[in-house]
Amino acid sequence: MSIETVIVLIFCLGYTAIALEHKININKTASALFTAVLCWTVFAMADPPERVLTSATYNEFVEHMTGGSMDGLFRGFVMSELSHHLATISEILFFLLGAMTIVELIDAHHGFRTITDRIRTRDPRKLLWIICWITFFLSAILDNLTTTIVMVSLIRKLIPNHHLRLFFAGMIVIAANAGGAWTPIGDVTTTMLWIGGQITTVNIMKTLFIPSMVCMLAPLLYLSFTLKVGTIPTSTSTLASHTSAGDGKRILFLGIAALISVPVFKTYTHLPPYMGMLGGLAVLWIVSEFMHPDLDESEKKKYTVAGALTRIDVPSVLFFLGILLAVGALESMQILNHFASFLSKTIGDNRIIITLIGFLSAIVDNVPLVAASMGMYSMEVYPTDHMIWEYLAYCAGTGGSILIIGSAAGVAAMGMEKIDFIWYLKKISFIAVIGYLAGAATYLLLQPLIGH
């Protein structure tokens, strides 16, 4: 059995463990980290694969080295590749840490109530449209996971009927994923492509806004005609009145301004996006330190960045680290390049390949799929803002809505509302497919007109 086959098997077994997290009672982060370590360990300890030794990447590394045995050069190459992948992944992780901390700080001050408290309608159709549009744009500014949590929390207060609320939750997942796909900060996969240099801010917003909107509108129109007409009864549970130690509206606007300023910062300074995110976080940290002078230190900490840092989802950050490192091993071994060549020979049309990747993202996590695609296709052949990157951002970002476990937003909604996998498959998956294909067709039709 070749070393490439062994590492592919390790990756597949690790991925199976991630998919069956709740069945085997092993946290997906542990599986991802173990898979990454095992892949790189086998890669480093095994005999150098012929495909790696003849690759352009390896030859370029050898040209910069002097002397040493072939084994020594290969081990040095593995270390160089690991360092390269870690540097790239770290940019994504620091970006996510900054964004998650800002959102936690806004939530600590109940800043999101500035938006949610303004919803008053009891008509289900009108409420569905309002919820979806808020979700769509809020997801583009924040991210699809955070937006889903905020909006599902809202409908739990507004809609007492659990069956009706499930349809709303399903549409929130679709709208959040659609909204997150057309901005560089709305979805992790789009962020990865943005940080990697495959897409630029203005172009991705210009090319994907209409397809993403169609992806949401198609299932929304369907549900508007199938939902029962009537009035939603007033919930016995009202929105709680929290006593905030600070001005939630001020923190909300500052936080959103910090998030929106990141693409602007990158455009004008040409520094990595995580620098802009950390700069925005620093500004909010300073502001939050001066907002509550009358509170004692233990109470004040709840409303500062220091307190927000203790509440962020660190396991999710480590999961991204593990899965991206594992994919990095496949890339360094030229397995992904070989797979890309196989797809090109058997299917040929990149539009079909990327569309299938979108469907596959409903089954497996879209983060490693995009990471694999970034390794499969060279930027020398497909430069920045090429159609393949734009279409990948759309398909990977919205395809996960087809199944409830296909996206972070879906998993969050599933946990909060106890959505059954089979129920979602029967009631939501069909309209999610309609939205996905409608948006994809819209992009492919408009791309020759507004693309490069």
Domain assignments of the chain as residue spans, ordered by start: 3-450
pLDDT > 90? residue 40: yes
pLDDT > 70? residue 244: no
pLDDT > 60? residue 240: no
Which residues fall within 8 angstroms of residue 339, CB to CB, at 6 or more apart? 372, 376
pLDDT digits (tens, 9 = 90+) for 183-206: 988 888 888 898 888 999 889 999
Amino acid letter for position 53: L
Distance CA 180, CA 212 (A): 9
Q: What is the pTM of this model?
A: 0.73
Distance CA 270, CA 395 (A): 28
- Torsion on CA atoms 162, 168, 170, 172, rounded to nearest 10: -140
How much is the pLDDT for 242? 41
Residue 424: alpha-carbon gap to chain centroid: 21
How much is the pLDDT for 96? 80
Token reading at 337 = 């390049």
Mean pLDDT, rounded, of the chain: 83
Would you call 127 helix, strand, or coil by DSSP?
A: helix
Residues of the chain with pLDDT > 90, as a percent, come to 23
Q: What separation in angstroms does the CA of 237 have from each of 43, 123, 131, 197?
A: 56, 18, 19, 47
How much is the pLDDT for 209? 95
Q: DSSP characters for 393-430?
A: HHHHHHGGGGSTTSSHHHHHHHHHHT--HHHHHHHTHH
313 band by pLDDT with thresholds 50, 70 and 90: confident
Which of 33-37, 43-47, 149-153, 246-250 is the least confident region?
Answer: 246-250
Query: What average pLDDT does range 397-408 have in this prediction?
Result: 85
How much is the pLDDT for 435? 96
Distance CA 432, CA 157 (A): 25
pLDDT > 90? residue 179: yes
239 band by pLDDT with thresholds 50, 70 and 90: very low
Between residues 281 and 247, which one has the greater pLDDT?
Answer: 281
How much is the pLDDT for 68? 67
How much is the pLDDT for 116? 66
